[in-house]
Amino acid sequence: MSTFSRLYRADTSFDFVGNARRWLIISGTIVFVSLAGFVIRGLNLNVDFEGGVIVQVANETNATVADMRAALTAIGLGDARIEFLDSLDGATAFRVRTPALDEALESELVHTVADTGGVGIEETDVEAVGPTFGAEITARAIQALVVFLVVVALFIAWRFEWKMAMAGLTALFHDLIITFGVYALVGFEVTPATVVAVLTILGYSLYDTVVVFDKVTENVESWSDSHTYTEIVNRAMNQVLMRSINTSLTSLLPVGSLLFVGSYLLGAATLREFALALFVGIAAGTYSSIFVASPLLAVWKEKEDYWQLHRRRLEGRREAKLTKASAGRTSAPRAARPPTVGGVTPRPPKKRKKR
């Protein structure tokens, strides 16, 4: 049977957790590169965050936004924001915003804008502007974010358990760092739309992780008698794998379409700002729920006394079975009794009632 039809029937048995070390090393490397890019190159914040220059001219030549855009593209400022102003008496004007420029480029900008508007340089109005997405909005967004993360962690801890909350948050930070890393490394402009896209990624990443953990919890209820925690997680991963792939596909198709068709083929550079963040973030979110959150959870839970004891007991039982099966061997070693952990009575995991 082909891998696809096995996937289709959820018949796969990939060992996700067994390779945990490998996945975590890969993720760790990507995160490290992202952080390095972040530190070395920094983010390219656009005029909405940093402020910049506004050039305003009367439109004497009845030029269109497209004319202005073409003129600006010629001097390499194609992604400036162009606004068409319309007064009540019918006179029109342009307002062009760019990030802060060096003196030569700024004077080139002023000349270009004045030429397109058909007025002299002395009639253009050039002003340095402050950010629209200022410190206040940023501070409030960060404050909201911190509260959100704490509440979500508490919710997952209550609904599932706190190790899942921690694993989910780890995956979330992983996705965030990678997304910002891509921005830093590629040097794309970060705009307010990017910030919103990043917030979306948070929700998406958590959503994805919650679906996987929901399956794990359910499997613990029905499978824990005969399987180790790692096996349970692996099983859950294989069960939700097709769902993860399909969901990423249905999310990535429209976003990818926005990114590639919208921004490259039809030349709408402004869409790129958020489509790229969404694309990277969603891809990272799917990856991390499979390769970061779950392996991390499995490795962590396996360290618990209960699950260690459980594993040894199961291994013992399986070995005994094997021994019995190989009849004729008289000197088969007895199944080792599971060692006990001195002084500590291991606690069984909390079993939740099915709802």
Partner 1 sequence: MSKRAVTMLVILAVAWGGLALALTNDMAPKLGLDLKGGTSVILRAPEGTDSDVLAKAVEVMRSRIEAIGGVQEPEIQVSGDRNVLIQLPGVTNQEQALSVIGQTGQLSFRPVLAERTAGDPFAGLLDTTTTTNPTPTSTTAPADDSTTTSSSTTTSSSTTTTTTTTTLPGIDPDSGLTIADDPTQPGWLAQYAEDGTIAEVLLVGGTDLMGDQVDEALPFFDPTENRWVVQLGLDSTGADAFEAMTKQAAQYGLYIDPQRRIAIVLDGEIMSAPWVTPDEGIAGGTAIISVGSQQEAQDLSVVLRYGSLPISFERLDVKKVSATLGSDSLQAGLVAGLGGLILVAIAVVFYYRVLGLVTVLGISVFGSLLIATIGTLGRVQGLTLTLSGVTGIIVSIGITADSYIVFFERIKEEIREGRSLLLAVDEGFARAFRTILTADTVSFMGAFLLYALAIGPVKGFALSLGIATVVDVIVAYFFTRNVVGILARTGFGEGGWFSIRGATGVALEGSTS
The smaller minimum CB distance to partner 1, of residues 25 and 135, is found at 135
Residues 275/259, Cβ–Cβ less than 8 Å: yes
Q: Write down the least CB distance from residue 54 to partner 1, Å.
A: 6
Give Cα 289 distance to the centre of its chain: 10
Distance of CA 81 to the CA centre of its chain: 28
Rounded CA-CA distance 61/336 in Å is 92
Eight-class DSSP state of 123: G
Which C-beta is closer to partner 1: that of 60 or that of 319? 60
Span between the terminal Cα atoms of the chain, in Å: 36
Asked if residues 277 and 201 have their Cβ atoms less than 8 Å apart, the reply is: yes
Shortest Cβ 28–partner 1 spacing (Å): 26
Cβ atoms 19, 292 nearer than 8 A: no
Query: Shortest approach of partner 1 to residue 305 CB, angstroms?
Result: 28
Of the two residues 37 and 117, which places its CB atom closer to partner 1 in the complex?
A: 117
Q: Of 32 and 155, which CB lies nearer to partner 1 in the complex structure?
A: 155
Shortest distance, position 222 Cβ to partner 1, whole Å: 11
Paired residues of 94 in beta bridges: 57, 84
Cβ at position 274, least distance to partner 1 in Å: 5
Nearer to partner 1 by Cβ, of 8 and 32: the residue is 8
User: What sign results for the dihedral spanned by CA atoms 207, 209, 212, 215?
Assistant: negative
The span from the CA of 154 to the CA of 151, in Å, is: 5
Q: How far is the CB of 345 from partner 1 (least distance, A)?
A: 32
Q: How far is CA 47 from the centre of its chain?
A: 24
Nearer to partner 1 by C-beta: 15 or 86? 86
